[in-house]
Amino acid sequence: MFEEYPKKITLPDGLSLTLRFMTRDDQYALYSFFISLAPEDRRSLRNDVTDRKLIEKWVRNLNYDRVLPILAEDDGRIVANATLHYQTFGWGRHVAEVRVTITPEFQGRRLGTALLKEITHLAYQSKVKKLLARIVTTREGVIRAFQRAGFSQLTVLKNYVKDLQSQQYADIALLVKELQPGTP
């Protein structure tokens, strides 16, 4: 699996990007990526990605058996992050959670589709049977992108999460993709 990376992908508009696994050397570039996101995009994330100590902790504690982070780079600059969060014990060992974050200038260019295809391929190679995505329901375009990638919405959890800044409650859509042999 790791021998495939880094690898080049080409977006439908012809732009070529590099996909690679995150390393401990990515701390500052990852922080720069996250602070480049629009405040609305950061609000829909689970963690305060403007906290340098949090980013430092993520890169210092890299463990690809628990979280597999893929970075997309344009000319050496991180423009997207996709992660596969494995459940390593208990009755959910066959499930992995998917998270995708893309800088504003690369949104709407089918990069999310390419990353979901990549992360699905990696999950299948890791013997994962189900992928789970939790998306704030106001992110309708993100939900549609996941649905185009084969995810089905199971349910909506009403008033389930609280915005880190405004402390407003939000609904979360749970989407799942079943992985079968030959799943793209």
Q: What is the pLDDT of residue 161?
A: 85
CA-to-CA distance for 142 and 146, rounded, in angstroms? 6
As given in the structure block, the two tokens for residue 132 are 């789970």
**What is the C-alpha to C-alpha distance for residues 144 and 41, in angstroms, rounded to an integer?**
16
- Could you tell me the domains of the chain? 2-178 (3.40.630.30)
CB 130 within 8 A of CB 95: yes
**What mean pLDDT comes out for the span 88-111?**
90
pLDDT tens-digit profile of 138-168?
999 999 999 999 999 999 999 888 876 677 8
Point out which residues pair with 10 in neighbouring strands. 16
Mean pLDDT across the stretch 91-95?
A: 87
